[in-house]
Amino acid sequence: MAESTVISLRNVDVFQQKHLVLSSVNLDISKGEFVFLIGQTGSGKSSLLKIIYGDLHIGNGDGLVAGFDLKNLAIKDVPFLRRKLGIVFQDFQLLTDRTIEKNLEFVLKATGWTDKVLIDERVKDVLEKVGLRSKIRKMPHELSGGEQQRVVIARALLNNPEIILADEPTGNLDPDTSEEIVMLLRQISLGGTSVIMATHDYHMIRTFPSRIIKCEGGLVHEGAKIV
């Protein structure tokens, strides 16, 4: 795997239980690359992401993600792989009973941070990056949908991930807010963090031309054209 490659899959078969979803997947993602992952519902997009973050085991083939060998990944090592990844879902999954600050503190403490000063600095830093420093004391319900998704992206950035996996991150947002979120993810990729964004939103793909990977017919195709 080249030094700049953060994801490398070679002849990987992707199974859900015993059902073959994708076969012979070959994929390389470089450091700082922004990639759209497209395909119809049920085409294997989410399964491919699950392979990358260690939720599904590789059957056939080989895979390296952020230096971790997926073929020989022990269950006890999955949390360490996921610290190299930031995961952004369509539903925000914020803790509704605490402030934005406490949501982010909770994640840092759960991943081994103990120094209160460093935790405080990191929380403020990621909120600054997503333009929400002024909302630090707000509760999730006091924020708009777009602001909540920005908090989710801030949460994904907490441990300086090498890769962000965003699964339909604009699915619940209006078009203008969706554009803001994609612009933010693009900006993050320019800082050196690779971003894979699974989406059905072809307007976003046309608005922000980038590399496209398509799941279709049990295969992964490179460079699909959206018109």
- pLDDT, tens digit (0-9, with 9 covering 90-100), for 139-167: 999 999 999 999 999 999 999 999 999 99
Cα–chain center distance at 39: 17
Structural element, H or E, at residue 164: strand 163-167
| Domains identified in the chain, total number | 1
Q: Tell me the percentage of the chain whose pLDDT exceeds 90.
A: 79
CA distance 173 to 67: 34
Q: Tell me the percentage of the chain whose pLDDT exceeds 70.
A: 97
Q: Does residue 112 lie in a domain region? A: yes
- Give strand pairing partners of 219: 216
pLDDT score recorded for residue 89 = 81
Whether residue 39 contacts residue 216, with contact meaning beta carbons closer than 8 Å, is answered with yes
What's the chain's Rg over C-alpha atoms?
Answer: 17
Q: Does residue 130 lie in a domain region? A: yes
pLDDT score recorded for residue 224 = 60
Length of the chain: 227
Q: Which region among 51-60, 71-80, 88-97 has the lowest average model confidence (pLDDT)?
A: 88-97
Q: Does residue 213 lie in a domain region? A: no
User: Alpha-carbon dihedral of residues 200, 202, 206, 208, nearest 10 degrees?
Assistant: -20
Domain that holds residue 117: 98-160
Residue 61 in 3-state DSSP? coil
Per the prediction, the chain carries an average pLDDT of 92
Q: Does residue 219 lie in a domain region? A: no
* Residue 2: pLDDT band with limits 50, 70, 90: low
* Residue 28: pLDDT band with limits 50, 70, 90: very high
Half-sphere CA count of 8, side-chain side, radius 13 A: 13
Q: Does residue 13 lie in a domain region? A: no
Distances (CA, A) of 138 to 27, 67, 125, 127, 132: 41, 37, 16, 12, 10
Residue whose C-alpha is closest to residue 103's, from 171, 156, 181, 167:
156
pLDDT score recorded for residue 226 = 57
Q: Does residue 153 lie in a domain region? A: yes
pLDDT, tens digit (0-9, with 9 covering 90-100), for 166-211: 999 988 888 999 999 999 999 999 999 999 999 988 889 999 999 9
pLDDT score recorded for residue 137 = 97
Q: Does residue 84 lie in a domain region? A: no
Provide mean pLDDT across the span 5-17: 93
Q: Does residue 128 lie in a domain region? A: yes
